[in-house]
Structure 1
């Protein structure tokens, strides 16, 4: 009987091994994305930025947008960002210049960028534009507007960035995972250098590690990217963590992003540009972390 049971056990084990296929490595995202990077094609995304400090974890910013590819990378983009400032936050805001700035940046910000020219609308821009104008034209404006500072640092629509990200990455059952220094990402990504109001990060910030997790579909196309890094990158101390969760859809779909009507565009502000409230000067974290 013992021999029979042993034989059954061996046969059962062999059957299980045969029935369970080896985990296949995911397809190469670099090659998959490159195939869809044709002029007039693009990809859409939705995004949520969360800030954690101690036991507190709150949504800070939500964004959505579309990227349009050109012959050599991203030719245009249309992105809307909204800080998570609630009506309760606004009701508690003081009735002074700070409160006025807070009420302005609580509104959604939309940025259309074509080439190196950005068109910005809503948010703080609405308070600075001449009457009858709804867009501000900046020859070398931020790719995702002022709110891009707190958005996703990694743009998977850039072939060079995706290739750099995957160097030394570890394959998982659904994609890849790894860590990259902000400095390496800054060097590889024209989008990050043009799309962030961080300015040129400090030497310390450049050494900051960004942990990431990438999910790809059966074709190897990215469907989700989650990055996590210290709040010190944003000058908010090193006791907290920032997590940016980006979902991608429609790789290679037809996209046509156009500039706003000329009649709605202003090339200068009604008041001095010095009056623009900077996101680094306003302690948003004290307000935009509820809900």
Structure 2
């Protein structure tokens, strides 16, 4: 009987499947740095929704690309669609080009682009979180809690201004510095950000409006090209 029990135990040991060996998680900052090559970048799409607590609406669809320079994001090209209205923003270095929307209706005849100093993130309905910026990603990881392939946390606009050129160059007054943005990053097996979901709330005339931006990122490190509009279509004047 004793020999039979030992034989059964030995057989059971042979038939128990081995537990999978999980690879150590990738360092997202190192993974991002490895993709930063001039002329390469990342593409993204996104959607914006807002609610006042009783009504929820889809406010905008976004698509675009970030292009890297030697160390970080050097240019971007974003198209934003609100219903039947479409806007496009191109940022190259310290110069921004704006087309469509309200600006498009104020341009002189024959001009389709308005040029000014680059303001970074176009407006508050854009994605505040830019995972293509090294310092921004590092701060998000520091502020957040990592669980599996997600990182969740919160960060204020003031904190973002300190690390993100995308936010610090935008048209945001200091009165919004205390606004807290909650975020969840989803990481790919390579340690790169594949999705960002962010939410923030603002009060206006006694009503609190909550905006949520859901963005997805693909093609990290692929070749991209952001070009300025044809000079003949650009103006620095508005009617």
What range describes the TM-score normalised by the shorter chain of this pair? 0.7 to 0.9
Q: Which residue of the other structure, out of 223, 237, 248, is the alignment partner of 2:194?
A: 223
Tell me how far apart the structure 2 counterparts of residues 265 and 171 of structure 1 sit (CA, whole Å).
Answer: 45
Q: Deviations over 1:94-148 (max 9, x none)?
A: xxxxxxxxxxxx521111111111111111122111111111111x133343xx3
Bigger share in strand? 2
In structure 2, distance between residues paired with 1:191 and 1:236: 29
- CA 1:229 to 1:22, structure 2 compared with 1: closer, same or farther past 3 Å? farther
Q: Which residue of 1 aligns with 2:37?
A: 38
How many Å apart are 1:27 and its aligned residue?
A: 1.7
The unaligned stretches of length 5 or more in structure 2 are: none
1:24–1:173 Cα contact (<8 Å) kept: no
Q: What is the deviation of 1:68?
A: 0.6
* TM-score, scaled to structure 2: 0.86
The 3-state SS of whatever aligns with 1:164 is helix
Partner in structure 2 of residue 58 of structure 1 = 57
Matches within 5 A, 1:106-117: 107-117=85-95
**Residues 236 and 32 of structure 1: is their aligned pair in 2 closer, same or farther, counting only changes over 3 Å?**
farther
TM-score by length of 1: 0.72
1:177 shift after superposition: 1.4
2:152 is the alignment partner of 1:177? yes
* Alpha-carbon distance between aligned partners in 1 of 2:229 and 2:119, rounded to the nearest angstrom: 16
The 2-side partners of 1:237 and 1:78 are apart by: 36
Alpha-carbon offset, residue 175 of structure 1: 2.4
- For 1:250, the equivalent position in structure 2 comes to 219
Q: Which one of 220, 233, 241 corresponds to residue 210 of structure 2?
A: 241
Q: Distance in 1 between matches of 2:143 and 2:231?
A: 47
Instruction: Kindly tell me the number of residue pairs found equivalent between the two proteins.
Output: 230
Contact preservation (8 Å) 2:41, 2:223 = yes
- 1:236 shift after superposition: 7.0
Taking the aligned partners of 1:141 and 1:184, their CA distance within structure 2 comes to 20
User: CA offset at residue 238 of structure 1?
Assistant: 5.9
CA RMSD, Structure 1 to Structure 2 (Å)? 2.4
Say if 1:161 and 1:189, in contact at 8 Å, map to a contact too: yes
Q: 1:121 aligns with which of 66, 81, 99?
A: 99
Separation (CA, whole Å) in 1 of partners of 2:69 and 2:174: 28
Change (3 A) 1:68 1:207: same
From 119, 122, 132, give the equivalent of 1:142.
119
The structure 1 segments of at least 4 consecutive aligned residues displaced by more than 3 Å after TM superposition are 21-26, 235-238
Structure 1 residues without counterparts, runs of 5 or longer: 85-105, 272-291
Change in Cα spacing, 1:82 to 1:210, as seen in structure 2 (3 Å) is same
